[in-house]
Amino acid sequence: MTGFPVGFEVSDGENTVIITEPGQMISITNWNIDDLQLTPPEDFSGNFFVTVSATTVDYGDEPLPEPEGSEIAGDFDTTLGEPIILTEEDLIGMAQNIDANDDDAIQMVHLVDPNQGSMVDNGDGTWTFSPADGFTGEVDFAYVVERDGILHDEQSTIGVHENEGQITDGPQIESIASASVEESEPLNFTDSDMLSTLSSDSGEMSIESVTLLEGEGLIESDGQGGYQFTPAEGYTGSAQIGFVASDGENSVESHFNINVDEQESSTVEALSQADDGSVSISGEQVLSSLDVADDTSLSVLAIQAMKAH
């Protein structure tokens, strides 16, 4: 929760926070939200807007058994009782719902289940996760990417293993790629393009599957490691292509983002008529009106006027 002016006191009767800086975030995960109390500073008047971000995790209808040993997998890994430090760069690199970059801000990093450990904001663009005593398993945590005042929800996981021997050396995500195309323009990409965003100690990786996660369009494969994504007719906006890579023993899911831009419409320069009724047309005007990829090799041989009937 954020948006309170400096000096406000926010409390649920048991937990109390005083706002000391603009944009301060408050985690109210364990608060009694039915009894929130706001105390403004003395002589405060005015209005303000509060932003609340909520995270839900869908584990399905049936309870899932806790993963054990080598089954534990996370975007980040640590061992029993060992803290791990996450950086802003780490979280920007893992963002899936926005093509995040270094100009974006990471906020509201928190655990989905506080019983699994603690997440502490170090105040320097890093966060420290410490597993709860005796806990091993997969830890879900959430955060938001802030861009131009808009919050984009993100989620990631930390695998807590009993010992370092259980941390697999499978493929790791190194970066999230992005590309731009104009509407209806196909994008060609290969297995190598996708694998270049990953790393693996084994060095041998392959693509197991490629799917369209977001947007509208068609993905076609040539069966030899080449693909083509064609946006649906008239579609503009964001698209996301997901893929699964494997080193033969372990696999990882990743994606890359595509921005489908509107096609620039060509403009035709208006012709003006002189007082004597004549119209002057230059060769440059003729060439600029042609729909060609490169007009540098073209020249105007003649301009002929057609008599109207």
Q: What is the pLDDT of residues 58-107, one digit of tens each?
A: 544 554 445 444 467 788 889 999 999 999 988 988 887 777 777 888 98
The whole-number pLDDT of residue 218 equals 94
pLDDT higher than threshold 80 for residue 264: no
81 and 36 in a common domain: no
Q: Is the distance from CB of 172 to CB of 252 less than 8 angstroms?
A: yes
Domain that holds residue 8: 1-52
Domain count, the chain: 3
Confidence of residue 56 (pLDDT cuts 50, 70, 90): low
Per-residue pLDDT for 192 more than 90? yes
Q: What is the pTM of this model?
A: 0.52
Which pair of tokens denotes residue 46? Answer: 């005015």
* Whether residue 42 is found in the same domain as residue 93: no
Question: For residue 102, what pLDDT is reported?
Answer: 79
More confident residue, 303 or 29: 29
> Based on the number of CB atoms within 10 Å of its own CB, is 143 exposed (0-12), middle (13-18) or buried (19 or more)?
buried
Q: Indicate whether 160 and 106 sit together in one domain.
A: yes
Q: What DSSP state is assigned to residue 51? A: B
Tell me, what CATH number does 219's domain have? 2.60.40.10
Task: Flag whether pLDDT at 41 surpasses 80.
Answer: yes
Does residue 13 form part of some domain? yes
* Any domain includes 136: yes
Average pLDDT, the chain: 81
Percentage of the chain with pLDDT > 90? 37
- Same domain? 163 vs 223: no
Q: Is the dihedral of CA 13, 15, 21, 24 positive or negative?
A: negative
Say if 18 falls within a structural domain: yes
pLDDT score, position 69: 45
The answer to the question of residue 293 being in a domain is no
The pLDDT of residue 50 is 83
> Residue 25: what pLDDT?
75
Highest mean pLDDT among 23-27, 284-288, 291-295: 23-27
Q: Do both 29 and 83 map to the same domain?
A: no
* Residue 251: pLDDT band with limits 50, 70, 90: confident
Residue 97 lies in a domain: yes
Same domain (yes/no): 147, 183:
no
168 vs 243, higher pLDDT: 243
Regarding whether 185 and 161 lie in a shared domain, the answer is no
Question: Average pLDDT, stretch 172-186?
Answer: 88
In a domain, 287, yes or no: no
Tell me what percent of the residues of the chain surpass a pLDDT of 70.
Answer: 78
**Residues 98, 139: one domain?**
yes
What pLDDT does residue 61 have?
Answer: 52
Asked if 131 and 80 touch (Cβ cutoff 8 Å), the reply is: yes
Cα torsion through 284, 288, 294, 298, rounded to 10: -40
The verdict on 150 and 79 lying in the same domain is yes
Same domain, 88 and 149: yes
| Tokens encoding 71 | 């089954």
Banded pLDDT at 230 (limits 50, 70, 90): very high
The C-alpha torsion from 141 through 147 and 149 to 155, rounded to 10°, is -10
